[in-house]
Copies of this chain bind each other. A is one copy, B any other.
Amino acid sequence: MKESDKETGIIEANRLFYEAIESRDIKAMERIWLNSERVKCVHPGWPQLKGWSNVKESWERIFASGELVSIEIKDVFTDVQGDTGWVNCVEKMIHNVDGEYIVTMAQATNIFELVDSNWVVVLHHASPMPVPRSEISSEKVQ
């Protein structure tokens, strides 16, 4: 597989990961993650979770809460080394907390591995970052 094909593949896998989050689709999440004890996940401000069963449960709780209205990504950078690669991106999330819309942003590192020609997530690490005033203002005028 050419390096450029690998980059295209990892960017598509990253897109599918965020699509699964926004559509609260646990089956799609299951397809995009490696089902292994090795996987790790850090939600913004949380301690790290290990193993797919714990990680899956955390997404089920997040999806069930219904607070996450949308998640958009920008500033996407990829780095592929052999059959491992990682994507760094900024996540912009809109949450509905008791009827109030709140914008948060996070910096993410997502590590993928190529398994049977598919890129799958083995680590997701998202950490809170300051929300620029422009991002908040842009919501108000929509």
Q: Which residues of A contact B (CB under 8 A)?
A: 38, 40, 42, 44-48, 50, 75, 77, 79, 81-84, 86, 88, 90, 107, 109, 111, 113, 122-123, 125-130
Q: Are B127 and A125 in contact (CB under 8 A)?
A: yes
Q: Are B77 and A40 in contact (CB under 8 A)?
A: yes
With both chains docked as a complex, state the minimum distance between the C-beta of A29 and any C-beta of chain B, in angstroms: 20
Assembly of this chain: how many copies?
2
Query: A38 CA to B130 CA in the complex, in Å?
Result: 23
With both chains docked as a complex, state the minimum distance between the C-beta of A86 and any C-beta of chain B, in angstroms: 7
Query: A127 CA to B47 CA in the complex, in Å?
Result: 9
Contacts of A126 in B (CB 8 A): 127
Contacts of A46 in B (CB 8 A): 107, 129
Could you say which of B45, B107, B111 contacts A130, with CB atoms under 8 Å apart? B45
Query: A123 CA to B50 CA in the complex, in Å?
Result: 20
